[in-house]
Amino acid sequence: MSIRFIQMADPQFGMFSSISKLTEEEAISRSREGLTLRYVEQEFDGFAPETQLFSKAIRYANEYKPDFVVMCGDMVHEADSEDQRNELFRITSQLNKDIPIYWVAGNHDVGNTPTASTLNAYRELYGKDNYAFQMENYYFIAINSSVCSDPSLVLEEWDSLIGFLEIELKKASNMNATHKVVFLHHPLFLETSDEPDNYFVIPFQRRQEIISLLDQNKASAVFSGHLHRNNYRNIKGIEYVSTGPVGYPLADDPSGIRIVDLDVTGLRHHYLSLE
């Protein structure tokens, strides 16, 4: 049996508007950080571009009929904006009821430095942030990478996350799962697993702990978002895939979604533009 799913990331309702309000100096300083700012036209409020893009993504999913959709974080730009969240959920409710959607926490959903209170708020809205599920002989694990990125205010959350990941990967190994796939928001790294820390990736020490579990248990792939562009690495047989945004792109890749197929022969995926 094969499984097919759609990975999405960063619909980030409110980001287009926020970018439209940057001053020229702010825009220039973002460009110096290597970000390509597009669609900066007239200043505007709301989230019309996100509505259009995410609606298109959901319409595509309804036609394609995947086994599930996974949304790899940054659902909204401002976690405390009820308007942004209502729009996210309004459009999500148009997904056919027989297609499950799995939420993964992003830094815009729980903060760059999560606290007990941001994590509680997230869990009330979206459910668990660390969880696993199986389909056929395939094993999927989602973790909250903002806790990996900066657990300074919730140290016990990091301990429970890494313990959870270890247990679930072992279970998947023990049942001889055909594929073990991990979903998170932040990529573990951009180029090489030992690269220096930067805003985009999980810091070295916790990154190494995660990678060593992935290596030991021969994971198939790790899917992330956060970059607002595509990025691909294959290290020790594990595919590390960062997928461009449903929402605002920060490089040359268009807004889009990723189609993934898994079967006993392997894992195939491609990026589909929403533009």
Q: What is the binding site for Zn ion (CB under 5 A)?
A: 74, 106-107, 226
How far CA 10 is from CA of 23, 223, 244, in Å, comes to 23, 13, 8
Q: Residue 106 CB, nearest distance to Zn ion (Å)?
A: 5
Token pair recorded at residue 33: 């950080």
Residue at 12: amino acid letter: Q
Q: Choose between 72 and 262: whose C-beta lies nearer to Zn ion.
A: 72
For every residue of 62-103, DSSP letters joined together read HHH--SEEEE-S--BSSTT-HHHHHHHHHHHTTS-TTS-EEE
Helix and strand totals (H; E) in the chain? 9, 11
Q: Choose between 220 and 224: whose C-beta lies nearer to Zn ion.
A: 224
Of the candidates 189, 190, 188, 168, the one whose C-alpha atom is nearest the C-alpha of residue 180 is 168
Q: Residue 216 CB, nearest distance to Zn ion (Å)?
A: 28
d(CA 183, CA 234): 16
Q: Residue 272 CB, nearest distance to Zn ion (Å)?
A: 21
Say which residue the tokens 């597009």 belong to.
38
Q: Residue 264 CB, nearest distance to Zn ion (Å)?
A: 34
For residue 182, which phi and psi values (nearest 5 degrees)? -115, 135
Count CB neighbours of 144 within 10 A: 31
d(CA 33, CA 98): 42
Q: Choose between 87 and 109: whose C-beta lies nearer to Zn ion.
A: 109
Q: Choose between 169 and 257: whose C-beta lies nearer to Zn ion.
A: 257
Q: Residue 108 CB, nearest distance to Zn ion (Å)?
A: 6
Q: Residue 226 CB, nearest distance to Zn ion (Å)?
A: 4
Q: Choose between 85 and 226: whose C-beta lies nearer to Zn ion.
A: 226
Q: Choose between 9 and 165: whose C-beta lies nearer to Zn ion.
A: 9
Q: Residue 273 CB, nearest distance to Zn ion (Å)?
A: 20
Q: Choose between 41 and 80: whose C-beta lies nearer to Zn ion.
A: 80
Q: Closest residue (Cβ) to Zn ion? A: 226
Sign of CA pseudo-dihedral 161, 164, 166, 169: negative
- List, in order, residues 6 or more apart from 134 with CB less than 8 Å away: 140, 177
d(CA 105, CA 59): 23
